Chains A and B, each alone.
Chain A
Amino acid sequence: GQGVEQPDNLMSVEGTFARVNCTYSTSGFNGLSWYQQREGHAPVFLSYVVLDGLKDSGHFSTFLSRSNGYSYLLLTELQIKDSASYLCAVRGDRGGSGNKLIFGTGTLLSVKP
């Protein structure tokens, strides 16, 4: 079946880095997005990838391997305020899942001092 899987929780230390993993299985592939959601707030777009490899966007970088159905979001120079839930979302093909995004349940990142 179709789905997006993420670990529930991740803990890291201020000033270091954190890698949030995402694996997916969808009918076709038309891009993968990452969103940040703080408690009680709207999800906020971070990044979109459709080609394999690493996309460096400064504080956030994303990696994609379409053949493995795998992506990660890399946060560097972590700050306490990076503590949030990070959601992975995949868009399948129009004939399969349609044009909607299929979301994972998010990884709750806790950044400790």
Chain B
Amino acid sequence: NSKVIQTPRYLVKGQGQKAKMRCIPEKGHPVVFWYQQNKNNEFKFLINFQNQEVLQQIDMTEKRFSAECPSNSPCSLEIQSSEAGDSALYLCASSGTISNERLFFGHGTKLSVL
């Protein structure tokens, strides 16, 4: 069973609405990744954190998403204004080391934008 907890499991939003999802990484893991897996099984890297700091993010994330990993609180990823193309499975993963040989994934949040 995954020890990375993602909520909610399913999320349904209308176009233009905000969509927020959360992730509790495995205890003691300082590195957190967010990936988007679309219906064609393509993984798109969105953003990663080390502790509370953003290491890397793509343009789309910077412009349309809001993400944070505060200390002692779940990490979160929020789409400011949902679009139909945002419908996908959003996977959060954590790693115990910055070298990331092994990622531990959550079950994901399946977002449907109507």
1/0 contact string of B80-114 vs chain A (CB within 8 Å): 00000000000101000011111111111000000
CB <8 Å contact, A41 and B107:
yes
The answer to whether A100 and B45 touch (CB under 8 A), given A42-B105, A42-B107, A44-B105, is yes
- With A98-B56, A102-B45, A103-B43 as known contacts, state yes or no: A43 contacts B91, CB within 8 Å: yes
Cβ B103 vs Cβ A101 within 8 A: yes
B42 contact set on A, CB distance < 8 A: 105
- Say if the beta carbon of A63 comes within 8 Å of chain B: no
Complexed CA–CA distance, A43 and B104 (Å): 8
Interface membership of B40, Cβ < 8 A: yes
How many chain-B residues does the 8 Å CB contact rule pick out?
A: 25
**Nearest A residue to B58, CB-CB:** A100
Known: A99-B48, A100-B48, A103-B43. A48 touches B101 (CB 8 A): yes
**Any A CB within 8 A of the CB of B12:** no
Looking at the assembled complex, report how far the CB atom of B79 sits from the nearest CB atom of chain A, in whole angstroms: 20
Q: Is the CB of B56 within 8 A of A100?
A: yes
Q: Which residues of chain B from 9 to 44 have any CB-CB distance to chain A below 8 Å in the complex?
A: 33, 35, 40-43
CA distance A70 to B93 in the complex (A): 25
Please give me the 6 A-B residue pairs with the lowest Cβ-Cβ distance, nearest first. Answer: A103-B43, A42-B105, A105-B41, A48-B101, A98-B56, A100-B45
Interface set of A (CB-CB < 8 Å, partner B): 30-31, 33, 35, 40-45, 48, 85, 87, 89, 91, 98-103, 105-106
10 A–B contacts, CB within 8 A, in A order? A35-B105, A42-B105, A43-B91, A45-B104, A91-B100, A99-B99, A101-B100, A102-B43, A103-B35, A106-B41
| Given A42-B91, A100-B100, A105-B41, 18 extra CB contacts under 8 A | A33-B103, A41-B107, A42-B2, A42-B107, A43-B93, A43-B105, A44-B105, A45-B102, A48-B101, A89-B43, A98-B55, A99-B56, A99-B98, A99-B100, A100-B45, A101-B103, A102-B45, A105-B40
